[in-house]
Amino acid sequence: MGLFDWAGGQFVDVIDWTDDSNDTMVYRFERQGNEIKYGAKLTVRESQIAVFVNEGVIADIMMPGLYELETQNMPILTSLKHWDHGFSSPFKAEVYFVNTKRFTNLKWGTKNPIMVRDPEFAMVRLRAFGTYEIRVKSADVFLKEIVGTDGHFTTDEVEDQLTNLILSKFATVLGKSTTPVLDLAGNYEMFGDFITEKISPYFTEYGIELTKMLIENISLPPEVEKAMDNRSSRAIAGNLDDHLKYQSAQAIQNSSENGGGMADMMGMGVGMAMGQQMANTMNPNNNQNNQNNNSGAGAPPPPLPNQGPKYFVAINGASQGPFDTNSINSQISSGQIARDTLVWSEGMNGWSPAGTVFASSFSATPPPLPPQ
């Protein structure tokens, strides 16, 4: 190594950093012995902050711009070094470039379900996942609390800690929310803003700003989702009878497509019969209709109500009957039974004239015509 090569390696004329990655948060400018030439050029680009560290103590912090490193723009380092006005010698200092851009698409998700109270489901377990965005808000706090002496600090090194912080606070915020589970899907954006507002103050303790938190999905346990799917299917199919018929038809179609045999078809027939029986059991109107239909199929009709005593009538010297009261009255009206026609019924002592037994019927009967 020549003299000029050695000299060029010891004194730095230009200090800058261009990031060719998407995850570097802090980069320490590497320099053997940390020697920097007095009057060197420092370039701090947009979305960067340069932090000078002297003997482990944070000194000057440079915002975006072009600097010539002299006593006038490094007041803290000048004070720590006790530089006089005519100082022009090389000095030692560590330079950290802090990336202040927004880091996006950082993942978060619940490791275990969160138990919450819900107005509709009473108690339910929820899982959630999404992404969040951060950026360095306070470079000195971030270096002290998180980075330390790490010369190349990336988002991977802090992502797990921030995710755990999100999850611990997310459970608290979700537990205090009064939004029903079924309404969360329509309020992901609003709910994400609400959570960002509640959790972001905890990020400032690390010198980081939580700029946005996105919720991609809040899901129910598989068994609850299955029950909701069944409920939705019943609502779409209509009443239970139609729903069972629909399921049976679907099963027959699936069986035929999958090469199901006669045993499958018999099983489907039994299933349809059972489904029909369940529908009839749950619908009292169907039960009543079935009872009415069955009553007229093969059972004998009930006996007619009692129509009164039966009478025998003596006509042409012979006993005819028995006749009920309506039949007797009809024959009286037609003249077949006269007043002196004898009648008898069970309970009477003997035969009596019809005019005596049915006096009221003869009162409305006109008398016989006179002989011509």
Residue 119, pLDDT > 70, answer yes
Band (278; pLDDT cuts 50, 70, 90): low
* Domain 103-220 class in CATH: alpha beta
Mean local confidence (pLDDT), 86-102: 91
Percent of the chain with pLDDT over 70: 76
Name the token pair of 303.
Answer: 């006996």
Number of CB atoms found within 10 A of residue 130's CB: 19
Take residue 308 and report the two structure tokens written for it.
């009164």
In eight-state DSSP terms, residue 13 is: S
79 bridge partner residues = none
Averaged pLDDT, 263-277 = 57
**pTM higher than 0.75, yes or no?**
no
One-letter identity of residue 116: V
Rg (CA), the chain: 52
Q: What is the mean pLDDT of the chain?
A: 80
Whole-number Å distance between alpha carbons of 336 and 338: 7
Task: Say which CATH class 311-363 falls into.
Answer: alpha beta
Which band of pLDDT confidence, cut at 50, 70 and 90, is reported for residue 273?
low
**Of the candidate ranges 81-85, 194-198, 365-369, the one whose mean pLDDT is the lowest:** 365-369
Structure-token pair, residue 301 = 């009709």
Pick from 90-94, 152-156, 196-200, 363-367: least confident: 363-367
pLDDT at residue number 287: 54
pLDDT in tens, 11-42: 568 999 998 888 999 999 987 777 899 999 99
Indicate whether 101 pLDDT > 90.
yes
Q: Which runs of consecutive H residues, i.e. helices, occur in the chain?
A: 3-10, 75-81, 139-142, 156-176, 181-184, 188-203, 222-237, 240-257, 262-282, 284-295, 325-334, 354-357, 359-363
Where are the domain boundaries for CATH 3.30.1490 in the chain? 311-363
Residue pair 219/128 in contact (Cβ under 8 Å)? The answer is yes
What band does 1 get if pLDDT is binned at 50, 70 and 90?
Answer: very low
Element (H, E) at 350: none
pLDDT at 198: 85
Greater confidence (335 vs 15) lies with 15
Specify the domain boundaries for CATH 3.30.479.30 within the chain: 103-220
CA distance 158 to 147: 9
- Please, which pLDDT band fits residue 105 given cuts at 50, 70 and 90? very high
Helices within 204-261 (DSSP H only):
222-237, 240-257
Is residue 143 within 8 A of residue 94, CB to CB? The reply is: no
